[in-house]
Chain A
Amino acid sequence: MNAINRLAAVVALASLLPLSALAEGPGTVEVTHWWTSGGEKAAVDTLKKQIEADGFIWKDNAVAGGGGAAAMTVLKSRAVAGNPPAAAQVKGPDIQDWGSLGLLTELDDVSKANNWDGLLPKKVAEIMKYDGHYVAVPVNIHRVNWLWINPQVFEKAGASVPTTLDELFVAADKLKAAGFIPLAHGGQPWQDSTVFEDLVLSILGPKGYHAAFVDLDEATLTGAQMIEVFKTLQRLGTYMDPNRAGRDWNIAAAEVINGKAGMQIMGDWAKSEWTAAKKVAGKDYTCVPFPGTQGSFAYNIDSLVMFKLKDANDIKAQNDLAKVALEPKFQTVFNQNKGSLPVRQDMDMSQFDACTQKSAADFKEAEKGDGLQPSMAHNMATTLAVQGAIFDVVTNFLNDPKADPAKAVKQLNSAIKSAK
């Protein structure tokens, strides 16, 4: 009996230990994210090192899988249980959803002390604010409307870099005739919709794009131009590998890198694959805006939302994370690895390659007019429900060679209506 009592006492004490250690030690910052690929991991490690150098404890909560769907499930259950992490990778309109639940903390002190209003582009700052206060910190800006080209393949086929949709089809025909796969593509719903969104931006222009995906305007969604988009999408489908079903985007990128395919329509994260293959931008590969979308910039911004915490030391650590994430050092390393554009507007762009420099120039240009538009396929323009409805129609259309564009437009409209 005595032995059992003693054992019970030891167990009880042992279970108290980590609690007391937490209360007295330095603040901990726990981050839920899905930056798990090689380059992304390296980028997150720089963040971790900086936080630790500042005297805080970094608790990594990486949840891989499903393009963040798995991480979201974890985050939701933890938030409902009243035990959210300090920060989580949440972006776009979702920030407003989390804000309306009253779970996010206001970063007024950090944002004022570090002049976020001056550093961030106005449009980016808007997305990061809920009710006029910063609740999230942006880490990068991806451009979605890129076309990646292997110039050696283009040279062999006698094709030239396209700037309009017509030229795109001319180039594709030449590539096909020379025995290459004209367009590398993976048959996953988000990839299909990335191509679809580029076509909408190209054919309807940035204003029409906004009406279709942000305002969900019925006249635009059912208009003749939208039928034209679906027709073009169907035609583009004939230049893709018929065995593409389920292929990941990086496998498709590898086909272009290895010279099996001529080009790929993909956001600027594709560059990380080229970099990993030791290719140089402008020499071994060419990046151009998707034909017809010059001057437009479909953006996808990754950000970390900050949750309300109780422990004063943990809040200090959280504020430190918010500050470090926007510092030039992290912005440089992270964006060099991710292939994206730094969110700070005062960065020295000479450390970046030709594609990112072009991206930065185009961003400034697009910001002046209507050109800056949120990406639909990457959950920046609309709710997940509407995005899912669009994904279903587009992917089903592209996978059925006999599909009728006029019917697809009607399906798209009714699917969006029922998901709204």
Chain B
Amino acid sequence: MSTVAALNKASPLDALQRWLPKLVLAPSMLIVLVGFYGYIFWTLLISFTNSSFMPSYKWVGLTQYAKLMENDRWWVASKNLAVFGGLFIGISLLVGVLLAILLDQRIRREGFIRTVYLYPMALSMIVTGTAWKWLLNPGLGLDKMLRDWGWEGFRMDWLVDPDRVVYCLVIAAVWQASGFVMALFLAGLRGVDQSIIRAAQVDGASLPTIYLRIVLPSLRPVFFSALMILAHIAIKSFDLVAAMTAGGPGYSSDLPAMFMYSFTFSRGQMGMGSASAILMLGAILSILVPYLYSELRNKRHD
């Protein structure tokens, strides 16, 4: 009798045990399915309709995409993202690695210097954008200061030059993110076994050779993490552009995210805005899918 009672008592608990993880995960799963994948699908649907001011479901096929391809502003925005993303990721990595290596030389006051370089990351992009807008404004900032100091010929007007304004965005973004890259690499450098470096020194390798051929190649995982984080920052840098240039002069510093926002929400061209969002998603997937594929495959081999 007692065993039956024990079984009866245990079985609902067991069932609960089996169902509990699923129950607990269900709400978040539902939110992700509806709020994320559901709305991606909805955006895809809208991009094939003539939705203007409000969503409508009149099917127009690929017309919105064709319009987008003819739109000069879309191409300016896409080109800007390529230039901005490439330069921002490249320069941030380079500056970050250099700073990390210099800090790695067991210098005095390292903690203080590290904080100084890391601090910009604590600011939001809106603050960074606004501060650099003032600094780089030819009538107010660095340009005026240097000329007031007597360097009459100095002219730094990139912020108001449609051809160069995108480099101003790069400057501000690099200033913000390179300290973070430095911190990542510094942590990695501290993890490198000192005996390897000593062995290399005994073999007569110079310091640059040790870093270039031994230490940095061993930091491959750090490099990839930094790359992924920087790529995210580059793609979501909507707020930096909004605060610093608002897409101007003209629309020369527009990014696809700004384009999407303005067409979908303020211009009443929801169909075209959705088409641009889907193209952005496509661009991200084309980078993400091969990366995920290689990651997952490697894991299986291990």
Contacts and interface: CB of A to CB of B under 8 A. Distances in A.
Q: Which of A385, A387, A397 has the largest number of chain B CB atoms within 10 A? A: A385
Contacts of B265: 69, 72-73
A80 B46 CA distance: 15
A72 B266 CA distance: 8
A97 interface: yes
Given A72-B266, A243-B160, A418-B70, A399 B53 contact: no
B241 to A, nearest CB: 11
A384 interface: yes
Interface residues of A, number: 34
A294 interface: no
Interface in A352-383: 383
Contact of A396 (B246, B251, B267, B269): B251
Contacts of B139: 241, 243
Nearest to A67: B266
Contact of B249 (A72, A245, A411, A414): A245
Interface string B129-153: 0000100011100000000000000
A384 B53 CA distance: 9
Given A243-B137, A246-B246, A384 B267 contact: yes
A416 interface: no
Interface string A383-410: 1110110001001111110000000000
B217 to A, nearest CB: 44
Q: Which of A188, A245, A383 has the largest number of chain B CB atoms within 10 A? A: A245
Contacts of A246: 133, 245-246, 248-249
B73 to A, nearest CB: 5
B157 A243 contact: yes
Contacts of B72: 392, 396, 411
B250 A396 contact: yes
A351 to B, nearest CB: 36
B86 interface: no
B249 A97 contact: no
Contacts of B52: 383, 385
A1 to B, nearest CB: 18
B249 A383 contact: no
Nearest to A400: B162
Interface string B263-274: 101111100000
A38 interface: no
A243 B161 CA distance: 9
A411 B73 CA distance: 12
By secondary structure, the A interface counts as helix
Nearest to A244: B160
Contacts of B245: 245-246
B251 A388 contact: no
B262 A388 contact: yes
B269 A385 contact: yes
B71 interface: yes
B198 interface: no
A243 B262 contact: no
A49 interface: no
Given A388-B267, A395-B251, A80 B157 contact: no
B54 A80 contact: yes
B66 to A, nearest CB: 9
B54 A245 contact: no
A21 to B, nearest CB: 31
Interface in A87-116: 94, 97, 101
Contacts of B70: 414, 418
Contacts of B47: none
A18 interface: no
Q: Which of B67, B72, B159 has the largest number of chain A CB atoms within 10 A? A: B72
A248 to B, nearest CB: 10
Given A188-B246, A241-B139, A385-B52, 11 more contacts: A97-B268, A243-B139, A243-B157, A245-B249, A384-B268, A384-B269, A387-B267, A388-B269, A399-B248, A399-B250, A399-B252
13 contacts: A69-B266, A76-B54, A245-B159, A245-B249, A246-B133, A246-B249, A384-B269, A385-B268, A385-B269, A388-B266, A395-B249, A399-B252, A419-B269
Give the 3 A-B CB pairs with smallest separation, nearest first.
A399-B250, A69-B266, A399-B249
Interface of A: 66, 69, 72-73, 76, 80, 94, 97, 101, 187-189, 241-246, 383-385, 387-388, 392, 395-400, 411, 414, 418-419
Interface of B: 52-55, 67, 70-73, 133, 137-139, 157, 159-160, 162, 165, 245-246, 248-252, 262-263, 265-269
